[in-house]
Structure 1
């Protein structure tokens, strides 16, 4: 009995060196030390970028840097990828004006420190200054639309607009595997076939005013990203957004985590299976044509399927009230 216990408690060695393993990839059983885990994760992201042709030689990539672990990890990974693929990184921080816990201020400072460390100039957009309202202003109005949904709308609008102004070829975001899986699950629950058909790790440009978006981390687990920034000693905002408790995807993410604990690799299998097998069935020529037939907002000139875009309607509600 004692011998069994000793064998069970014995530490594993890294698969690629003589160091003790700092972690084990649960769905593959691969034990890795800190150094080789970092290399392993970076290689997986590089492979994803190449597989989906997310970034091409000579492109200008606008990278949304929020200060959170996902965007900070992506910032450093893309900087390393520059050694292999010659492209330009344009880091951009959106100051949403969240005053509680000095959240926006601290996030911006951390984003700037990481960019300076990598020799990159961070562009900051303060939405209060540029558009006349902050996320705090939106929350105070208690609109019917969930605050996290509004936040996503603002970020997409600003990233797209700035990408056009800065002549960026693509916009890169730090959405991870857990994010992707929760989006899929949420839209299944809502039976939103239109949104399901549009979910993709790379969204090409159908319109010159709608810049393509890429998600290089979409096959990387959230806890793997946490380990990556920890093992590399990267600074990131480690306090939750004050509005995060309002997120409708939180419960779905918890369900997915429970599923993963029962069946390691389930989330990755689900996301890969969706994109490879199910999404092609949901897509059709008509939906693609709808994307191509976007009009422009009569107030700001950005792409929209209606006379006035969602961002301008939101802005009008907040400022008028």
Structure 2
């Protein structure tokens, strides 16, 4: 029966049926297809050029481990330099395992690895922040704080190590979630920034790239399992409360009935994005690139969002 035959090599041990394109693949052909797709995206979208120093955001989860392993192919060919950074937000019972796996993965590949913790840098953990937030009538979500501080740390480390690109493990699910979320919230400013790479007029921001952008989350999970990579599969305990998780659940349910849905959302957005961006930027009074008066980091206002949060947090926790 053709249902159990790999459409690439004829192997009878099929591990995946891609309903969105009809492919049935054995383990070797599947892993090969993932690596080729990612490297094709890197080349087509010009995400890296020879001599680039790429810093990978390495959480120890499936996406970042897969990304580091695949980009290491380019490192071994002497096309790019590669380093990794792991951020320890201080989430008890969750982050420790990811940090361990990140350290071991980087060591196995002989990749220089940096670890930055919220505790060392800011003198608090995300758990400590949320302990105080939950006392409020309308508590701020953990992702709000986490996102701001993580972005700041990524950019600072990238600048410190003189990286020319900052690679993150955003996959197809992540990107389609972002598109829908920003559309529903009417956040055009964030929407026009979604893409394979960031375009910033401020040279103090290292360009971010997303090589896994066209790979579904489930396929990345299968890729790391079939490759025998150790990864941290547990989800963040704070994520279940987020709007992103609600949108993600909706997309996963819809994709079961309509397998091409996420690709349709991504491809449709790519077609209309230039027009949206052109019209939006033409009617937007852009703020000049400024510098935060407190920390000296890039900011559009006198005080950056990170420093505003830090002041608020230290007032609450008294530290």
The normalised TM-score by structure 1 is 0.91
Q: How many pairs does the alignment contain?
A: 310
Once the two structures are superposed, residues 179-200 of structure 1 have per-residue CA deviations (whole angstroms, 9 ceiling, x without a partner) of 1001111111111111111111
**1:293 deviation in Å?**
2.1
Gaps of 5+ in 2: none
Partner of 2:278: 284
Please give the alpha-carbon distance, in whole angstroms, between the structure 2 residues aligned to 1:286 and 1:16: 45
**1:291 deviation in Å?**
6.5
CA change 1:178–1:286 in 2 (3 A) is closer
1:98 aligned to 91, 111, 124, which one? 91
Checking the alignment, whether the CA contact within 8 Å between 1:206 and 1:292 is kept in structure 2 is no
**1:207 deviation in Å?**
1.1
Partner of 1:221: 216
Checking the alignment, whether the CA contact within 8 Å between 1:178 and 1:253 is kept in structure 2 is yes
Q: Secondary structure at the match of 1:237?
A: coil
**1:286 deviation in Å?**
7.0
Equivalence map 1:124-203=2 (5 Å): 124-142=115-133, 144-203=139-198
2:290 aligned to 295, 298, 315, which one? 295
Partner of 1:3: none
**1:11 deviation in Å?**
4.7
Q: Secondary structure at the match of 2:195?
A: coil
Gaps of 5+ in 1: 1-6
2:57 aligned to 64, 67, 80, which one? 64
Please give the alpha-carbon distance, in whole angstroms, between the structure 1 residues aligned to 2:70 and 2:195: 21
**1:64 deviation in Å?**
0.4
Equivalence map 1:39-50=2 (5 Å): 39-50=32-43
Checking the alignment, whether the CA contact within 8 Å between 1:173 and 1:214 is kept in structure 2 is yes
Equivalence map 1:7-18=2 (5 Å): 11-18=3-10
Checking the alignment, whether the CA contact within 8 Å between 2:168 and 2:209 is kept in structure 1 is yes
RMSD: 1.9
The normalised TM-score by structure 2 is 0.92
Please give the alpha-carbon distance, in whole angstroms, between the structure 2 residues aligned to 1:228 and 1:290: 45
Please give the alpha-carbon distance, in whole angstroms, between the structure 2 residues aligned to 1:131 and 1:260: 41
User: Which 4+ runs in 1 deviate beyond 3 A?
Assistant: 285-292
Once the two structures are superposed, residues 254-305 of structure 1 have per-residue CA deviations (whole angstroms, 9 ceiling, x without a partner) of 1111221111111012112202x21111113873986682211111111111
